[in-house]
Amino acid sequence: MTEIVLGVGASHSTLMNTHWDQTLHKDRAERFRDALHQARDALAEARPDTVVLVGSNHFRGFWLDLIPSFTLGVGECLASGESGTPKGPQPVDVPLARHLADTLVDGGRFDVAFSARLQIDHGQSHAIQYLLDGLGAEIVPLVVNVFAPPLPTLDRCEQLGRAIREAVLAFPGDRRVAVVGSGGLSHRLPWPDWRAPDGEDEEFMVGAWLNGRNNWQDYDQRRREIIRAAEAAITPAFDEEFLALLERGEAHRLTAYTSEQLEEAAGNGAQELRTWLLMASVLDHVPGRRLAYEPMPEWLTGMGVAVLDPADTARA
Separation in Å, CA 190 to CA 172, 179, 194, 199: 45, 29, 12, 12
Residue 241 belongs to a domain: yes
Q: Does an H or E element contain 125, and which?
A: helix 122-130
Residue 202 belongs to a domain: no
pTM over 0.75: yes
The sign one gets for the Cα dihedral 86, 82, 74, 141 is: positive
Collapse the DSSP code of 161 into the 3-class scheme (helix H, G, I; strand E, B; otherwise coil) and give the result: helix
CB 296 within 8 A of CB 26: no
Nearest to 12, CA basis, from 119, 120, 130, 118: 130
Q: How far apart are CA 40 and CA 58, in angstroms?
A: 24
Residue 209 belongs to a domain: no
Q: One digit per residue, pLDDT tens: the chain, 316 residues? A: 899 999 999 999 999 999 899 999 999 999 999 999 999 999 999 999 999 999 999 998 899 999 999 999 999 999 999 889 999 999 999 999 999 999 999 987 899 999 999 999 999 999 999 999 999 999 999 999 999 999 999 999 999 999 999 999 999 988 999 999 999 999 998 888 899 998 998 899 888 899 988 888 888 889 888 888 888 899 999 999 999 999 999 999 999 999 999 999 999 999 999 999 999 999 999 999 999 999 999 999 999 999 999 987 665 5
Residues paired with 302 in a beta bridge: 295
| CATH at 252 | 3.40.830.10
Structural domain boundaries enclosing 80: 3-189+230-315
Residue 259 belongs to a domain: yes
Residue 213 belongs to a domain: no
Region of residue 14 (phi > 0: left; psi between -120 and 50: alpha; otherwise: beta): alpha
Residue 205 belongs to a domain: no
List the Cα angle 110/283/145 in 5-degree steps. 45
CB 294 within 8 A of CB 28: yes
Residue 201 belongs to a domain: no
CB 280 within 8 A of CB 158: no
Beta strands in the chain (DSSP E): 3-10, 50-55, 70-80, 87-89, 113-120, 138-144, 176-182, 288-296, 301-308
Question: Residue 289 has what pLDDT?
Answer: 97
CB 125 within 8 A of CB 85: yes
Residues in Cβ contact with 255 at an 8 Å cutoff, skipping those fewer than 6 apart? 153, 154, 155, 158, 277
Q: How far apart are CA 17 and CA 87, in angstroms?
A: 14
Beta strands in 56-197 (DSSP E): 70-80, 87-89, 113-120, 138-144, 176-182
Question: Residue 227 has what pLDDT?
Answer: 81
Collapse the DSSP code of 152 into the 3-class scheme (helix H, G, I; strand E, B; otherwise coil) and give the result: coil
Residues in Cβ contact with 200 at an 8 Å cutoff, skipping those fewer than 6 apart? none
Residue 210 belongs to a domain: no
Residue 279, burial from CB neighbour count under 10 angstroms (0-12, 13-18, 19+): buried
Region of residue 270 (phi > 0: left; psi between -120 and 50: alpha; otherwise: beta): alpha
Report the number of distinct structural domains present in the chain.
1
Q: How far apart are CA 179 and CA 139, in angstroms?
A: 9
Integer distance in angstroms from the first to the last C-alpha of the chain?
24
